[in-house]
């Protein structure tokens, strides 16, 4: 295959440093008839006296080329020279990788031996000598680089720098062309090509004119990729035989494999020259391999190493090119998420989870039409762009993918689990960034598929309530995160007034609002449910606690324990958060406030859902002096039954009962019962949503202690209230509720 007549005809040097190794070799193998040593650049280093240079040098050349081209695999080769002689060539490497040289031995078949000894047996036999030679060659490589070697290294270095300077090129196609152009220039070739069918890469470049017809080029691609799969190593064809003409008539060929990181050959980089051009030699091989390696690294950066799908970045780039080139036709996006992969990861280990991702990616790639682009967006999320495909057709493909994923079964020894996926389908519409928009909408549809029970396909529809909710969530969450980072909230305070007797100490409930982009006030019902779904409640509650402590701390003198109490709402998610309690304690201590200033409102559902944690939370803070209220009481399932387990100070009767109380006797008797029970348990009651004077009187008659609602006072900015409290404190010793607390306008 390889024909390099340049190397072995060189005259051996007068170097005698290898003589002892020659003698050692003969001791180890008496049938030895000659030794020749080449270095890693195929330069003749030493030959034993009996080595006959007229002996077919081609075999040695071929071995050297193989050793040079095959970076790690090639251990050596055995070839029959004539009826009674065999040539064994062994690659000698540093650290198993860098080629230091090739040692070739001519061995005579001894006595009645007809069959040559296997390569491996000979290698074992001569191993001690090879080891000595390896050290000698390594030393030479380190110390004694000849002028020629230096030149080669310089040229290699220059080439690598040339290639890496193109790293920032706009697209892969440009980069690949650049690599091929470097190949053409460095080796004065007629034609260079890069073919990676797996990745839809097919680039070719000619030096001048068009030396090969498109049909011939296609034939060459077909044969060379097939050969690469078989041979798995660099191929050089300098003799244009009948076979070679069939491949790429009539060209000399140098072809290097493009490997997947697993070692699998996925493509070929090939250089072609007319018969009149000089042969491809070892130097050409080195350069071509460097170019192939560079192409491989570009490809690897573009594709996810385990699934072989594109990376998100490459996907966006290539999809952008497809969308730019395509006219007005309809394209679709698929978004895939593997169901409960975390359960597989946790139960069977991450490696099994990874296997599942690879299997799903494989089903996805196999089911998609060839023109589709597919990517691993992140973790267990995959996406695909299907050009010229309506939503309906895309949904049909998605359904096939879903079914194919369902068929995945664990391999032997992996345990027992089921695999399923959710897919969202969305059209690519017209917008500033159609791909990002379509990906987001397909993701929303995919989430809707999860909400609806998993193992499903959902199409994005503008009218779908759950999908709209998801969409809203995603929009809201972005704003919420901004607000959390930039203090984009404010607190309002609503008074809670005693229904009988004098005012006593004033009480207020603190309520959060988000401040919109244009300064508008966004009420909590617009963002808290999204925050809950995205687990942001602990961050929100932390913000409220720290802001409340900060503002109250600034007005310590006017709000001191004797004057007012402020209630802070906490969510169930914060109770779950183990570090939240310590956070509250720290904030309180840092503010220097008497803890009795604060009351915490926990909903009945949150408390009962986290009973133990809630009890610890309450106990710790009550010890310090804080109070607790059970919020939205009556909306939970078995409220009354749990009351004995909770040492709360107040029960807040849910607004829905209060509102109904004037007209619904059942609500009325419920409120009465709660008020009586609370008294027995030494708790006080607060009626929410006291919207009218009629209700206020009703609540008083039913025995409720406090009222909160529009009829008693609306919420106002917390800072404003604190200012007023300060003025009152300074002027009125016997505290009365500020006028504005009752008249503040609703926001």
Q: Which residues bind ligand C2E (CB under 6 A)?
A: 494, 510-512, 523-525, 528, 541, 544, 569-571, 601, 631-632, 688-689, 691, 708-710, 715
Q: Which does 512 bind (CB under 5 to 8 A by kind): ligand C2E, Ca ion, none?
A: ligand C2E
Binding residue count for Ca ion, defined by CB under 5 A? 4
State the binding string over 417-456 for Ca ion (x if CB under 5 A, else -): ----------------------------------------
Q: For 693, how many CA atoms within 13 A lie in the half-sphere containing its CB?
A: 0
Q: b vs e for 366-386, b when ≥16 Cβ sit within 10 Å of the residue's Cβ?
A: ebbeeebbbbbbeebbbbbbb
The CA distances from residue 476 to 347, 513, 517, 533, in Å, are 34, 13, 12, 11
Q: Which does 541 bind (CB under 5 to 8 A by kind): Ca ion, ligand C2E, none?
A: ligand C2E
Q: Which does 691 bind (CB under 5 to 8 A by kind): ligand C2E, Ca ion, none?
A: ligand C2E
Q: Which does 715 bind (CB under 5 to 8 A by kind): ligand C2E, Ca ion, none?
A: ligand C2E
Q: Which residue number has the CB closest to ligand C2E?
A: 709
Rounded CA-CA distance 372/396 in Å is 14
Write 235-241 long-range contacts (CB < 8 A, 24+): 235/1, 236/1, 236/2, 236/3, 236/4, 236/65, 236/280, 236/284, 236/285, 237/1, 238/2, 238/3, 238/4, 238/279, 238/280, 239/3, 240/275
């890693």: which residue's tokens?
40
């309530």: which residue's tokens?
465
Told to check if 492 binds Ca ion by CB under 5 A, we report: no
């913000």: which residue's tokens?
543
DSSP string, 212-265: S-HHHHHHHHHHHHHHHHHH-S-EEE-S--HHHHHHHTT-EEEEEEEE-TTS-E
* Residue with smaller CB distance to ligand C2E, 355 or 688: 688
Least Å distance, CB 654 to ligand C2E, is: 8
Q: Which does 524 bind (CB under 5 to 8 A by kind): ligand C2E, Ca ion, none?
A: ligand C2E
Least Å distance, CB 641 to ligand C2E, is: 22
Can you give the C-alpha Rg of the chain in angstroms? Answer: 40
* Residue with smaller CB distance to Ca ion, 391 or 741: 741
Least Å distance, CB 522 to ligand C2E, is: 10
Least Å distance, CB 541 to ligand C2E, is: 5
Q: Which does 602 bind (CB under 5 to 8 A by kind): Ca ion, ligand C2E, none?
A: none
Q: Of 638, 624, 632, give the one whose Cα is nearest residue 650.
A: 632
Mode of pairing for the β-strands spanning 627-633 and 650-653: parallel
């603190």: which residue's tokens?
510
* Residue with smaller CB distance to ligand C2E, 50 or 487: 487
* Residue with smaller CB distance to ligand C2E, 235 or 493: 493
Told to check if 632 binds Ca ion by CB under 5 A, we report: yes
Q: Which residue number has the CB closest to Ca ion?
A: 601
Q: Which does 612 bind (CB under 5 to 8 A by kind): Ca ion, ligand C2E, none?
A: none
Rounded CA-CA distance 545/568 in Å is 7
Least Å distance, CB 721 to ligand C2E, is: 14
């996406």: which residue's tokens?
383
Least Å distance, CB 392 to ligand C2E, is: 42
Rounded CA-CA distance 358/340 in Å is 15
Q: Which does 523 bind (CB under 5 to 8 A by kind): ligand C2E, Ca ion, none?
A: ligand C2E
Q: For 78, how many CA atoms within 13 A lie in the half-sphere containing its CB?
A: 14
Told to check if 729 binds Ca ion by CB under 5 A, we report: no
Least Å distance, CB 466 to ligand C2E, is: 22
Rounded CA-CA distance 357/381 in Å is 9
* Residue with smaller CB distance to ligand C2E, 302 or 708: 708
* Residue with smaller CB distance to ligand C2E, 569 or 610: 569
Tell which positions 18-47 bind Ca ion, by CB under 5 A. none
Tell which positions 549-588 bind Ca ion, by CB under 5 A. 569
Q: Which of 631, 684, 705, 729 binds Ca ion (CB under 5 A)?
A: 631
* Residue with smaller CB distance to ligand C2E, 45 or 511: 511
Least Å distance, CB 535 to ligand C2E, is: 13
Rounded CA-CA distance 187/165 in Å is 19
Structure tokens at 277: 């051009």
* Residue with smaller CB distance to ligand C2E, 57 or 495: 495
Rounded CA-CA distance 68/71 in Å is 7
Mode of pairing for the β-strands spanning 457-459 and 421-427: parallel
Q: Which of 601, 604, 627, 729 binds Ca ion (CB under 5 A)?
A: 601
* Residue with smaller CB distance to ligand C2E, 280 or 718: 718
Least Å distance, CB 574 to ligand C2E, is: 8
Contact assessment for residue 330 and residue 389, using Cβ atoms and an 8 Å cutoff? yes
Q: Which does 4 bind (CB under 5 to 8 A by kind): ligand C2E, Ca ion, none?
A: none
Tell which positions 276-295 bind Ca ion, by CB under 5 A. none
* Residue with smaller CB distance to Ca ion, 434 or 523: 523
Contact assessment for residue 345 and residue 356, using Cβ atoms and an 8 Å cutoff? no
- Angle, helix 119-143 to helix 19-28, in steps of 10 degrees: 170
Least Å distance, CB 667 to ligand C2E, is: 15
The CA distances from residue 537 to 494, 620, 631, in Å, are 21, 21, 17
* Residue with smaller CB distance to Ca ion, 178 or 708: 708
* Residue with smaller CB distance to Ca ion, 202 or 529: 529
* Residue with smaller CB distance to Ca ion, 356 or 629: 629
Helix (H, G, I), strand (E, B) or coil at 68: helix
- 560 DSSP 8-state letter: T
Instruction: Give residues in contact with Ca ion (CB under 5 A).
Output: 569, 601, 631-632
């Amino acid at each position: 295959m390889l024909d390099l007549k340049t190397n072995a005809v060189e005259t051996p040097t007068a170097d005698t440093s290898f003589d002892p190794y020659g003698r050692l070799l003969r001791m180890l193998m008496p049938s030895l008839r000659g030794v020749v040593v080449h270095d890693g650049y195929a330069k003749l280093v030493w030959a034993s006296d009996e080595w006959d240079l007229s002996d077919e040098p081609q075999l040695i050349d071929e071995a050297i080329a193989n050793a040079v081209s095959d970076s790690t695999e090639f251990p050596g080769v055995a070839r029959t020279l004539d009826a009674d002689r065999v040539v064994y060539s062994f690659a000698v490497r540093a650290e198993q990788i860098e080629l230091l040289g090739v040692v070739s031995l001519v061995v005579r078949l001894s006595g009645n031996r007809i069959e040559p000894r296997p390569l491996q047996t000979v290698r074992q036999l001569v191993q001690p000598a090879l080891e000595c030679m390896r050290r000698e060659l390594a030393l030479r490589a380190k110390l004694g680089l000849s002028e020629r070697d230096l030149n080669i290294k310089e040229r290699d270095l220059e080439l690598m720098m040339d290639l890496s300077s193109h790293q920032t090129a706009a697209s892969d196609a440009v980069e690949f062309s650049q690599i091929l152009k470097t190949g053409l220039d460095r080796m004065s070739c007629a034609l260079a090509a890069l073919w990676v069918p797996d990745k839809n890469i097919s680039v070719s470049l000619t030096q001048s004119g068009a030396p090969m017809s498109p049909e011939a080029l296609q034939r060459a691609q077909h044969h060379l990729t097939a050969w690469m799969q078989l041979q798995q190593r660099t191929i050089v064809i300098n003799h244009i035989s009948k076979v070679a003409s069939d491949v790429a008539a009539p060209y000399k060929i140098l072809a290097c494999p493009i490997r997947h990181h697993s070692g699998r050959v996925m493509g070929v980089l090939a250089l072609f020259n007319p018969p009149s051009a000089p042969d491809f030699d070892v130097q050409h091989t080195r350069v071509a391999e460097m170019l192939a390696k560079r192409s491989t690294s570009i490809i690897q950066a573009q594709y996810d190493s385990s699934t072989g799908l594109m990376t998100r970045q490459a996907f966006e780039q290539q999809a952008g090119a497809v969308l730019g080139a395509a006219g007005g036709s309809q394209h679709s996006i698929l978004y895939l998420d593997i169901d409960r992969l975390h359960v597989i990861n946790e139960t069977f280990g991450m490696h099994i989870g990874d296997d599942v991702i690879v299997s799903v990616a494989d089903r996805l790639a196999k089911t998609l039409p060839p023109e589709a682009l597919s990517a691993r967006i992140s973790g267990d999320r995959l996406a695909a762009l299907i050009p010229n495909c309506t939503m309906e057709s895309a949904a049909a493909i998605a359904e096939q993918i879903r079914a194919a994923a369902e068929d995945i079964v664990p391999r032997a020894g992996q345990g027992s689990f089921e695999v399923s996926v959710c897919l969202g389908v969305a059209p690519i519409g017209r917008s500033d960034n159609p791909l990002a928009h379509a990906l987001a909408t397909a993701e929303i549809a995919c989430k809707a598929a999860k909400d609806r029970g998993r193992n499903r396909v959902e199409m994005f529809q503008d009218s779908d309530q759950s999908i709209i909710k998801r969409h809203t969530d995603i929009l809201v969450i972005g704003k919420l995160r901004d607000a959390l980072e930039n203090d984009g909230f404010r607190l309002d305070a609503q008074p809670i007034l005693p229904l009988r007797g004098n005012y006593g100490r004033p009480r207020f409930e603190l309520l959060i609002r988000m401040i919109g982009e244009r300064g508008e006030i966004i009420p909590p019902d617009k963002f808290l449910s999204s925050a809950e779904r995205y687990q942001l409640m602990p961050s929100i509650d932390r913000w409220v606690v720290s802001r409340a402590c900060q503002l109250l701390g600034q007005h310590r003198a006017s709000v001191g324990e004797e004057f007012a109490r402020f209630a802070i709402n906490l969510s169930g998610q914060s109770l779950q958060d183990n570090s939240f309690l310590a956070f509250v304690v720290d904030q309180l201590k840092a503010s220097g406030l008497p803890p009795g200033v604060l009351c915490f409102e926990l909903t009945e559902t949150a408390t009962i859902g986290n009973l133990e944690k809630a009890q610890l939370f309450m106990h710790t803070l009550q010890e310090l002096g804080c109070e607790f209220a059970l919020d939205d009481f009556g909306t939970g399932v078995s409220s009354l039954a749990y009351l004995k387990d909770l040492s709360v100070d107040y029960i807040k009767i849910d607004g829905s009962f209060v509102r109904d109380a004037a007209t619904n006797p059942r609500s009325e008797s419920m409120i009465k019962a709660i008020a009586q029970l609370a008294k027995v348990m030494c708790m006080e009651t607060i009626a929410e949503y006291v919207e009218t004077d009629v209700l206020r009187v009703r609540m008083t008659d039913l025995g409720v202690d406090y009222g909160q609602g529009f009829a008693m006072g609306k919420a106002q900015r917390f800072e404003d209230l604190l200012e007023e409290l300060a003025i009152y404190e300074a002027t009125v010793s016997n505290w009365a509720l500020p006028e504005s607390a009752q008249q503040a306008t609703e926001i």
